[in-house]
Structure 1
Amino acid sequence: MSKVSCDVIKDLLPLYYDNVCSDDSRKMVEEHLSECSHCKSQLDNIGREINLPKETIEQNLKDGNAIKNIAVFFRHSKLKSFIIGLIGAAALFTIVFLAFTYPIVDVPTDVAKITDVSQLADGRIAYHIQLTDGYELHRIKYNTDENGNFYLTPKRPIIKKKQMIGASGFANMYDTFDDFLKTVYRDKYGANAEIKALYWGNPKDNILIWKKGMNLPKASEQVENECKLYN
């Protein structure tokens, strides 16, 4: 058999070490190793690389587990951050939505103008309300007390919306003190309860519209027509 080069033997050494080479290859490698100290040293190195000390193996396992734990933590952190971000975005959207739409702020009386307080032919009390700051009014809330005071409290969202020029609505309208308000009051305080004063605003900031015993002028034809149109 011709002499085999070290390069060929080096290619066969891993197979020889794992005992997966053919019998002829094994015989060839062993014959070469008996004469070549360099290749024998290469075989020893393969053994040292594979047969790691127990401490090294345990440390590698610990390092592997640590890396795995870091990866799991990172995935969980990303998920947690995503959920927190989603909740934050939803909360911000809700706050902005409420700020634009939900009427929670009382409109101050210094921007309210009450005129044409008079008595209609059917006995109802009429008045005209106009807000002079140019912003819309979204809602009128009823506030009452047991002393006969009835407050028409105007409400707006935190972020105000401009009123359209010439538009009618809560911010520019005729309204009346009628049986509906009396029913609201009696439902709360009893069948014999009586409204004695009607205010625009709230208990701390208000404009008197009507008070029991007040002498009111007869409503003009214009007021009569406006109240028929909107009431």
Structure 2
Amino acid sequence: MSKVSCEIIKDMLPLYYDDVCSDDSKRMVEEHLVECHSCKLELDRLKANFKLPKEEIEIIRNDRNVIKNISSSWNRSRVKSFMKGIIISALLFSLIILGYVGLFHWNITNVATDVVEIKNVSELADGKMVYYAEINDGYSLNTLKFDMDKEGNFYITPLRPIIKQEAQSLPLLEKGYEFIDIKEQEVVRGKEIKAIYYGTPRDKILIWEKGMYLPKASEEIENMFHFE
């Protein structure tokens, strides 16, 4: 360790004498005083002629404590701010992802029946009912939801996301024949089906109701649903 000059030690002697310097500084002064007679005499002179008022010493000590507290508080605040930033960023990212999925992929929007045409309702040879549905608004249909109320009304509800996509050149659900196995649905749901609607309870098109005559499906339609 390099030798500390007497000028530095003499500058620190008042603080050393009043015991307001750091432990490292105190140790450095004491090590120097062991070897330096001149600085030791200077310390003796301070003891005889100079003394900081107790109030000023207390202020200096308090100032040191305040500085330490401010430094510790600032470091804690930095950590808290950093953690808050991470949490907020994660929440924003999650909201963006959920928003994107909700707008483009969650099938939660009903298709209004004023753009739907139902026709060619008939019966297949195996007893299943078949019908042709066409959605004419130019947008794709993502899924069909099947539901039944307590009165035995069966609903086939067309659903799509909030942000609609244009229909493909080869339509999937937007235009085509669909079949319903009424007997199987009654077994699964444990209740007799009295009517079948396309849409929702508030916006619906009647496809079939109990007692309605169903013509036999054409050979062309039978071939569409021949799965052997």
Common topology (TM > 0.5): yes
In structure 1, how many angstroms separate the alpha carbons of the residues matched to 2:183 and 2:92?
46
RMSD over aligned CA atoms reads 3.1
C-alpha change, 1:62 and 1:29, in structure 2 (3 Å) is closer
- Contact residue 128 and residue 180 of structure 2 kept, 8 A: yes
Percent identity, please.
32
Name the residue aligned to 2:208.
Answer: 210
Q: Is 1:173 the counterpart of 2:176 in the alignment?
A: yes
Name the residue aligned to 1:196.
Answer: 194
Matches within 5 A, 1:1-231: 11-15=5-9, 18=29, 20=32, 26=37, 53-167=57-171, 169-178=172-181, 181-188=182-189, 190=190, 193-228=191-226
Residue identity in the other structure for 2:8: P
- Contact residue 155 and residue 199 of structure 2 kept, 8 A: yes
- Contact residue 9 and residue 39 of structure 2 kept, 8 A: no
C-alpha change, 1:27 and 1:128, in structure 2 (3 Å) is closer
C-alpha change, 1:95 and 1:185, in structure 2 (3 Å) is farther
- Contact residue 116 and residue 223 of structure 1 kept, 8 A: no
* Corresponding residue SS for 2:131: strand
In structure 2, how many angstroms separate the alpha carbons of the residues matched to 1:109 and 1:225?
29
In structure 1, how many angstroms separate the alpha carbons of the residues matched to 2:216 and 2:155?
24
- Contact residue 146 and residue 157 of structure 2 kept, 8 A: yes
In structure 1, how many angstroms separate the alpha carbons of the residues matched to 2:39 and 2:95?
77
* Corresponding residue SS for 1:228: coil
Residue identity in the other structure for 1:79: M
Q: Which runs of 5+ in 2 are unaligned?
A: 14-28
C-alpha change, 1:27 and 1:124, in structure 2 (3 Å) is closer
In structure 1, how many angstroms separate the alpha carbons of the residues matched to 2:95 and 2:210?
48
- Contact residue 33 and residue 40 of structure 2 kept, 8 A: no
* Corresponding residue SS for 1:53: helix
- Contact residue 6 and residue 39 of structure 2 kept, 8 A: no
In structure 2, how many angstroms separate the alpha carbons of the residues matched to 1:184 and 1:124?
11
In structure 2, how many angstroms separate the alpha carbons of the residues matched to 1:117 and 1:134?
23
- Contact residue 108 and residue 162 of structure 2 kept, 8 A: yes
Alpha-carbon distance, 1:22 to partner = 7.7
- How big is each residue's C-alpha offset from its partner over 1:133-177, in whole Å with a ceiling of 9 and x where there is no partner? 22222221122123331111111122222221123x222221123
Residue identity in the other structure for 2:37: R
Alpha-carbon distance, 1:14 to partner = 3.1
C-alpha change, 1:29 and 1:209, in structure 2 (3 Å) is closer
Who wins on radius of gyration, i.e. which is larger?
A: 1
- How big is each residue's C-alpha offset from its partner over 1:103-142, in whole Å with a ceiling of 9 and x where there is no partner? 1121111121112112333333221111112222222112
Alpha-carbon distance, 1:84 to partner = 1.8
What TM-score, normalized to structure 1?
A: 0.72
Runs of 4+ in 1 over 6 A off after TM superposition: none
* Corresponding residue SS for 1:113: strand
